[in-house]
Amino acid sequence: MRRVVRGFWGPREESVEALAGRWKRTLDRLAELLPAADPGAADGTAGAGGAPWTWQQVQSEGPATALRADEPSLLAALRAVQAADGWTDTTGTGLSLVAGNAAGWRIDTGGRAGGTSEFLLQAVLIGIEAPDGAEVPDAALLAAVAEIWEPDFGGVTDDDVLDTLEDDGDFDPDEPSVGWVGHLSPARAALLPDELAVTRTELPDGGALLDIAPRSDTEAVLAANLRLRDAGALEPLPRPMARALL
């Protein structure tokens, strides 16, 4: 089943150059952490010697186009998004990229960033489909998202977890939550209850990475989310939003 590494935050205006830099670091880190997913490695056992991957950029109209994971190419792609009809700096600038190979790996990543909306969260999402039995470094992937994008909250999750949170925990789709691995920004991490039985890793910015449960234990993930919500660690950003982090 596809898993998704997610990060969300409030309004944070950023230049297109800054966004290209964040995307470059993100794609570089994916290549480091998931070398078997290299689209240039047909059998999924070897990468392309450290060369940047070539992704497919999903377009709003027409077929996907090849996009090399270097900063000039990413900068040009982001500028094209901003030049398109209907784009506004309030919503933010998005990319939608896909890569995969014949070994059964598929990564789709996208989101919106640099926007100033008072009501729409900014986000980055990384969807991963892996061959049976393949190791996926969930905590390292979420740590990379936390480092590169500086989100307010995030997690590694899948449809089973999201359905359980919505059906049994009354979590709205846009309400803060975490998966079997979670990330909290510094102010949220400060509200972690002492009795919460999870493995906590302090991050350099004062936030926290939480190892909550095995992927299959949706009830444990639900229980942790309920406790975090009760403690105020999953309080939504006040609307209209005026800052990126709680």
Q: At what angle do helices 71-83 and 16-33 cross, to 10 degrees?
A: 130
131-144 pLDDT, tens digit each: 999 999 999 999 99
Does position 94 have pLDDT exceeding 70, yes or no? yes
Maximum separation of any 2 CA atoms in the chain, in Å: 52
Domain spans of the chain, in order of start: 1-137, 152-246
22-26, 85-89, 92-96: segment of lowest average pLDDT: 85-89
CA distance 246 to 220: 25
State mean pLDDT over 114-123: 97
pLDDT tens, position by position, 206-241: 999 999 999 999 999 999 999 999 999 999 999 999
**Residue 143: strand, helix, or coil:** helix
Whole-Å CA distances, 226 to 7, 169, 238: 19, 7, 19
Residue 49 clears pLDDT 60, i.e. is over it: no
- Cα dihedral 58, 64, 69, 75, rounded to 10, equals -70
Handedness of CA 220, 183, 140, 169 (dihedral sign): positive
Concatenating the DSSP letter of every residue in 53-81 gives: PEEEEPPSSSS-EEEESSHHHHHHHHHHH
Selection from 179, 192, 185 nearest residue 6 by Cα? 179
How would residue 50 be classed by pLDDT, with cut points 50, 70 and 90?
Answer: low
Query: Is the pLDDT reported for residue 201 higher than 90?
Result: yes
pLDDT band at 52 (very low <50, low <70, confident <90, very high): confident
Confidence of residue 42 (pLDDT cuts 50, 70, 90): low
- What are phi and psi for residue 16, nearest 5 degrees? -65, -30
